[in-house]
Amino acid sequence: MTKPGFLSAVISALPLAVWAQAAKPVAAEVRRYGIEVAGLRVGTMTATRQAPVGADVTYSLVSDVRVSFLFYHLKIYYQVVNHFRNGQLLLSTVEAHTNQGDFASRAEWKGDHYDILADQYKHHYKATETQPIRYAVTNMFFGEPSAGQTRAFAEYFGDYFTISRSKPGDWRAVRDGREDEYQYTNGQLVTIIKKNPLKNFIIRLLP
């Protein structure tokens, strides 16, 4: 004969058992974009935020572009990987493969400063930074910046974009005369306009 105490213990454990069976690992967040020039699709961009592992979160951004207009040819594949712990960037790496060669950038926290080295096409930068980096360009793909956010770490260049809101949902990112526009709808990044002297690159969120 089953003891009443045993039966009540089994019944009370049922909700927990059902929840445990139904619970699934948190999936990564992925945003996919098409890249256009003059109305033509020339590439793709994929932003990913991995599910947190304890205090650690990893962001990645992969861009693949191929453009051919008359005598203008451009091929760029680059991957950014940013590793944060407790909201602070610990390591940022950028690998770029282009028709002009292969390039890389790296920023690494050394306990009291970052060692930063950017070796990109026509851009070479080496520096140390003592202030913790808590916001980077990859973060902008997963929510509109807060009202008080004034800059974003530009992983490719190894320094910062100055960011400002021009109107609700629209943000400007400016660095060394370069300007990008980030457009949000209901907090989601839907369009980036990367301004270029020849033709603007338009990056649109895919359905």
Cα angle at 67 between 65 and 72, to 5 degrees? 140
Name the one residue in this structure whose structure tokens are 């002297």. Answer: 197
For 166-176, write each residue's pLDDT tens digit.
999 999 999 99
Residue 18 placed within a domain: no
Residue 65 placed within a domain: yes
Residue 10: its pLDDT value, please? 36
Residue 57: its pLDDT value, please? 98
Handedness of CA 47, 120, 84, 79 (dihedral sign): positive
- Three-class secondary structure of residue 19 per DSSP: helix
Handedness of CA 164, 167, 171, 177 (dihedral sign): negative
Residue 7: its pLDDT value, please? 39
Residue 38: its pLDDT value, please? 87
Instruction: Quote the DSSP letter at residue 150.
Output: -
Residue 13 placed within a domain: no
The total domain count for the chain is: 1
Structure-block tokens of residue 187: 């907090």
Residue 10 placed within a domain: no
Residue 29 placed within a domain: no
- Three-class secondary structure of residue 103 per DSSP: strand
Residue 25: its pLDDT value, please? 62
pLDDT averaged over 10-residue windows placed end to end, the chain, 207 residues: 45 41 72 94 97 97 87 87 98 96 98 97 96 98 95 97 96 94 97 90 96
Residue 196: its pLDDT value, please? 85
By the 8 A CB rule, do 45 and 138 touch?
A: no
Residue 60 placed within a domain: yes
Domain containing residue 136: 34-205
According to DSSP H, which parts of the chain are helical? 4-22
Residue 6 placed within a domain: no
Predicted structure pTM score: 0.84
Tell me, rounded to whole angstroms, the distance of Cα 17 from its chain centroid.
Answer: 37
For 57-83, write each residue's pLDDT tens digit.
999 999 999 887 767 788 999 999 999
